[in-house]
Structure 1
Amino acid sequence: MNSSKIALVIGANGGVGREVSSALKRHGWQVRALVRTPPKDANAEGIAWLQGDAMHSADVLSAAKGVDVIVHAVNPPGYRGWEKLVLPMLDNTIDAARASGARIVLPGTVYNFGTDVFPLLREDSPQHPCSRKGEIRAEMEHRLKEASRAGVRTLILRCGDFIGPHAGNSWFSQGLTKPGKPVKTLSYPGDYAVGHSWAYLPDVGETMARLLDREDELASFDAFNFGGYWLDGQGMLDAVRRVTDDPRIALRRFPWWLVNLAAPFNETLREMVKMRYLWKKPAKLVDEKLVAFLGGSPYTPIDDALRTTLTSMRCLPTQAKSSAKPLLV
């Protein structure tokens, strides 16, 4: 247990930030949370909530005084404002970590890898991104690596698309399914045979906490791939049918044509189109390093993860439909 250690989580209201805050508390850490809108109770859930903006260096510096770890889990919502916001926020975190001597923890993505290294992504795979968002992600890791040479330690946990409670604008909750409604169809954004990496948010938080429990064993700049679940369209359909007990759920094509029509008028949709390449070719995170370090797989069974996800989305039917006949698709 790490009761004497303090972690600052920037973006604790988001999916990753919320889960890593909870996990660190379970592992005995003292947790501070820097958010724009803290709860009325400044110590809700045993966390010290601080009001501030990751774009304001003074806010980050003040919140990071005396901490051992800074979890940089803040992102512009809905893909908006990446060009102007992402790198300045990270620079503020780097400055604060340098001042406090803390290790930075970054939830990473597959965006910084190009199709030249698909389908198997390893921690040391070359980074040749094929999108502007990927270029920014690669630059984030470059800045962190440069900072590590000057004594700012970093841990990166690279993940696929998120599922789980509080996943926000995730592909699962906003693309494949519809919140607040029983699942009738799954709108798959790629070819049904193309696999995709999924990360269950509670597992991501727990894995970060387990890695930080052994912080002294980590390299000054260390990265791990969080493999999560590797499912193609049919695999995801089978899992959702099991969880909902509804074999009538059908697999459908995601309406990219509609997104393309609306994209010129919506920044989030424009960014979705740019990231479509991740649904055209498989990009699997190889997690041998993580599993070996932890001494086993850290992943919740997929049915349990989807059941929790769909419950949080209010999508599970009120009654099982085990007697329904399958729909051939």
Structure 2
Amino acid sequence: MHVILGTGPLGLAVMREIEKRGEPFRFVNVSGTLPKGINAPLRRADLMDAEQAREAARGATVIYHCVQPPYHRWDGLFERLQDNIISAAAANGAKLAVAENLYMYGEVNGSIHERLPYKAATRKGQIRAKLTRRLQELYRTGDLQAVIGRGADFFGPYVTDSSVGERLFKPLINGKHATVMGDPDKKHTYTFIDDFGKALVMLGEAEDAYGQAWHVPNADTVTTRQFVGMAAQAAGCGAKVRTMGIGMLRFGGLFIPAARESIEMFYQYERDFVVDSWKFSDRFKMAATPLADSLAATIDWYRSRYQAIQE
């Protein structure tokens, strides 16, 4: 039994991959509801409660950790959340496939690969590094079977809250300026959510992958301006780009906690941010979805989403 913690974009992408395989699964989330149009087994549980987490994971063979606290509340909550999930996996004899981002490396000169040390100077990067070290230590001591998949900024179906989410795609399909973070002429790797979901399931199945971190496959890195241009081409419209700088984030942070929390991570958008996923592609022989195809799928989803809202 696959147990997917979280019904956000990544959890849904994991579901789509498991459904293709015809294997049993269930979701776990705190609300007890699923996104509109999704019909799947679901158990309601508050993962911040250790007992509820253990019960929700009952019968699991592989648990997919696709949840995190609100972006502005990582301090004090993320460690507790992950500890409860670890305890739930151990209590049920389940393996744990954990989704992470790339914050723990900090500012990197050159490509970002798995052999880099964790040198983050930001609060969020240090939290990520601490969580990762905890997983790796438990694996070394034999107390947990854990594997880690890491992705960059998401885009794709159901991805709205991202640097390449609703602020980019919603105005673009309406012929308006797409808003992006930082310098649009710097290269930036973006992760197609379906590739992340597929890769995480593959990691969960591979015995030799456990105890390691893996960067999931990404298409060739382009500049953010090129990314928007390709999205516009898929949408059949012109590419108009508006940039969001750190000053705008500071102003927005007066009213929106998530914007305030994004300031320390802004370095990712001021320099080239190129992710190396050779290790995964070499081991699993999985290529990322070409950008033209993944952007077309994203445009299709956004159009269907806003058409449904209008109706």
TM-score (norm 1): 0.84
Count how many residue pairs are aligned between Structure 1 and Structure 2: 302
Offset at 1:315?
8.6
Offset at 1:294?
1.4
Match of 1:294 among 284, 287, 298: 284
Offset at 1:89?
0.7
Alignment of 1:167-178 (within 5 A): 167-178=159-170
Matched with 1:266 is: 256
**AA of the residue aligned to 2:106:** G
**AA of the residue aligned to 1:278:** Q
Matched with 1:324 is: none
Distance in 2, Cα, partners of 1:110 & 1:281: 15
Distance in 1, Cα, partners of 2:19 & 2:232: 35
Match of 1:81 among 46, 55, 73: 73
The SS at the match of 1:202 is helix
Q: Which runs of 5+ in 2 are unaligned?
A: none
Matched with 2:127 is: 136
Distance in 2, Cα, partners of 1:288 & 1:129: 23
Distance in 1, Cα, partners of 2:120 & 2:235: 37
The SS at the match of 1:209 is helix
Matched with 1:15 is: 9
Offset at 1:150?
2.9
Matched with 1:146 is: 137
Q: CA offsets per residue over residues 79-125 of structure 1, 9 Å max, x none? A: 1311132111100011111112221111111111111x333111121
What CA RMSD, in Å, does the superposition of the two structures yield over aligned residues?
2.3
Offset at 1:171?
1.0
Q: CA offsets per residue over residues 199-254 of structure 1, 9 Å max, x none? A: 111121112223333x22323x12111241322133213202311222x3223322
Distance in 2, Cα, partners of 1:179 & 1:85: 34
Distance in 2, Cα, partners of 1:180 & 1:237: 9
- 1:204 and 2:193 correspond: no
Match of 1:187 among 160, 166, 179: 179
Change over 3 Å in CA distance of 1:28–1:211 after alignment to 2: farther
- 1:223 and 2:216 correspond: no
Matched with 2:21 is: 27
Matched with 2:91 is: 99
Change over 3 Å in CA distance of 1:162–1:183 after alignment to 2: farther
Offset at 1:284?
1.8
* Native 8 Å contact 1:163 1:200 kept in 2: yes
Matched with 1:3 is: none
Offset at 1:185?
2.2
- 1:62 and 2:52 correspond: no
Distance in 2, Cα, partners of 1:179 & 1:145: 42
Offset at 1:259?
2.2
Distance in 1, Cα, partners of 2:154 & 2:268: 14
Offset at 1:26?
2.0
Distance in 1, Cα, partners of 2:31 & 2:134: 28
Distance in 2, Cα, partners of 1:127 & 1:76: 22
Distance in 2, Cα, partners of 1:147 & 1:179: 45
Change over 3 Å in CA distance of 1:88–1:317 after alignment to 2: closer
Distance in 2, Cα, partners of 1:59 & 1:257: 42
Offset at 1:317?
11
Please tell me whether Structure 1 or Structure 2 has the larger radius of gyration of its CA atoms: 1
Alignment of 1:243-322 (within 5 A): 243-246=234-237, 248-297=238-287, 299-314=288-303
Distance in 2, Cα, partners of 1:142 & 1:234: 36
* Native 8 Å contact 1:27 1:209 kept in 2: no
Match of 1:52 among 13, 35, 45: 45
Structure 1 residues 249-258 or 23-32, which shifts more? Answer: 249-258
| Identical amino acids, percent of aligned pairs | 25
**AA of the residue aligned to 1:53:** D
